Amino acid sequence: MAKNKSNRKAKHGSDERTEKFFSFIRELFPEACENGNIDFDTLIEAVGGTPQNDPEEYCFTWAGKNAARKEAETPPTGTALRFLRDESSEPDTTENIYIEGDNLEALKLLKEKYAGKIRVIYIDPPYNTGSDMIFRDRFTMSAAELAALSGDSSEDSQLQRNNQEGARYHTNWLNLMYPRLIAARELLADDGAIFISIDDNEVENLKKLCDQVFMPSNFVGQWNWYKSATPPNLSRKIKKNIEYILCYEKNKSNVRYKGVHKTSHSSNGLLNQTNRMATLRFPGGKIDTGMENGIYRAGRYGTDRYEIELLDDVTVESGYFVNAFRLKAKFKWSQEKLDSELASGTKVSIRTRAFSPSYERREYEPEVPPNLINKEVGVDTTEQAGKALTALFEGLKVFDYPKPVELIEYLAGFICREDDIVLDFFSGSATTAHAVMKMNAEDDGHRRFILVQLREECPQDSELYRRGYTNICEIGKERIRRAAEKLRNDYPLAKFDGGFRVYEVAECNIREENDEILR
């Protein structure tokens, strides 16, 4: 797939006209600008031309590349996003979005309101193993030709499965990914990042492809996820325990990524015998405890050394004090100090019925995440993720190798703020939605998710189909509903958006006038 092209480049100048020209090109065709230069061959490709070849220079190309680029840049015609109220959950209040249909069309339609607004994109695209890739071949056969061959003009008749033995095996995958990555880049915020899971089959091509779309200078790095403790013993050469995650920023920044938080292992008491008696107010939902669920009445508690008085009745549920309450004792801290420490992340606990408070303060800033993702950073394997998902569906196995919720939570947590939007346009079992809701439940955030998934049919002889899950979208939507319910049980004091509005990529003539995706 290596091909040579000419070395026609222009360096950034200093006069006003040159500056305006470079600014214009950078804004419209950032992929043609690198290190202060304009690559005119890339620019010519971007506008649909054919660059001249030079046998001395390397470039990355393949059959259908120009057509794939043109498809990314062609506005959506004949399609719109149709709101499906009956398929939605909490449609009048939720800000989350679930889109059914072709993800390239969906990405184009989303650009109208979300261009430059997505902080984090995570995708788990087909790995091109020979059986996992469903696609529409727009580059070798027209829809009419496909319909003539199959005798079916429906949308599903245009879906094909990539054949590992075919001559276009890698080319088909590149043509699937290229326009979608171009469209995804336009949706990313200037300080946003994309994370892409992949395995050995296409990791090299993915790196080259992302270098073209996002530029090599915006490459953040490659993480290795320890995906399986018991990989299939099929190879005679190597057991594959690792999958890869590539990360690119839209514009490389000096932002420090946040990994694992380290806390002190010692528990420090909040009482001091030489201090005077004082009263502190502890907020509801923030102070953890080992005490049993129930109501604890105001009165005298304490230990042999310390007199502690509870001034308000307080309720314990699921390891936390539900309501605010006051304690009177000989405290080390003032009310202002307590409030400040809680705001900075210090963990305050009252573990026993003595009502003696203690604290664990974070000793370090979050670590920069290492390039190995495993249990050491709180991320488990796909086996454990599969067990958790099966349990969520009450024993029904819905996916063979789902990603752990903690993996998406960990990656998004590198840069994701409390009100950011997270996009996943190869949604699968909707792990990303589960992760975003869990993050919000844990820190009272208001992150939103946008998921896109093609309606891939479930086999009619499968238990999934017999249970009413006719396609992957039905599984994904049900997973979000069940995950929201479980999180509300696990975090009874949390307030997070557990709903989603469902849209489908549909013909324009059935678009509803009150389409609310643009609100």
- What is the tens place of the pLDDT at every residue in 443-460? 999 999 999 999 999 999
Residue 304: the pLDDT is 87
Residue 163: the pLDDT is 54
Query: Tens of pLDDT along 407-446?
Result: 999 999 999 999 999 999 999 999 999 999 999 999 999 9
Backbone φ and ψ of 43, nearest 5°: -65, -40
CATH of 80-126+180-197+218-257+370-518, one of 3.40.630.30, 3.40.50.150, 3.40.50.300, 3.10.180.10: 3.40.50.150
**Sheet containing 268-269: order of strands:** 268-269, 358-360, 347-349
Mean pLDDT computed over 143-152: 38
Please give the residue that has the higher pLDDT: either 445 or 512: 445
Query: Tens of pLDDT along 460-482?
Result: 999 999 999 999 999 999 999 99
Average pLDDT over all residues of the chain: 85
Check pLDDT > 60 for residue 71: yes
Identify the top-confidence range among 47-56, 136-145, 441-450: 441-450
Confidence of residue 362 (pLDDT cuts 50, 70, 90): low
Q: DSSP of 336-403, one letter per residue?
A: HHHHHHHHTT-EEE--STT---EEE-B-SPPPPPPSEESGGGT---HHHHHHHHHHHTTT----SSPP
270-306 residues labelled b (16+ CB within 10 A) or e (exposed) = bbeeeeeeeebebeebebbbebeeeebeeeebbeeeb
Check pLDDT > 60 for residue 320: yes
Give the percent of the chain with pLDDT over 70: 82
Query: Tens of pLDDT along 227-272?
Result: 998 887 777 888 889 999 999 999 999 999 999 877 655 668 999 9
Q: What is the DSSP letter of 87?
A: G
Residue 154: the pLDDT is 44
Check pLDDT > 80 for residue 377: yes
**249 and 192 Cβ atoms separated by less than 8 Å:** yes
Q: Tokens standing for 25?
A: 């090109």
Check pLDDT > 50 for residue 3: no
Residue 146: the pLDDT is 37
Helix, strand or coil for residue 200? Answer: coil
| Strands 294-296, 314-317: pairing kind | antiparallel
Confidence of residue 149 (pLDDT cuts 50, 70, 90): very low
Residue 422: CB partners within 8 Å, gap ≥ 6? 118, 119, 120, 121, 122, 412, 416, 432, 435, 436, 447, 448, 449, 450
In the chain, where the domains are located: 2-61, 80-126+180-197+218-257+370-518, 268-360
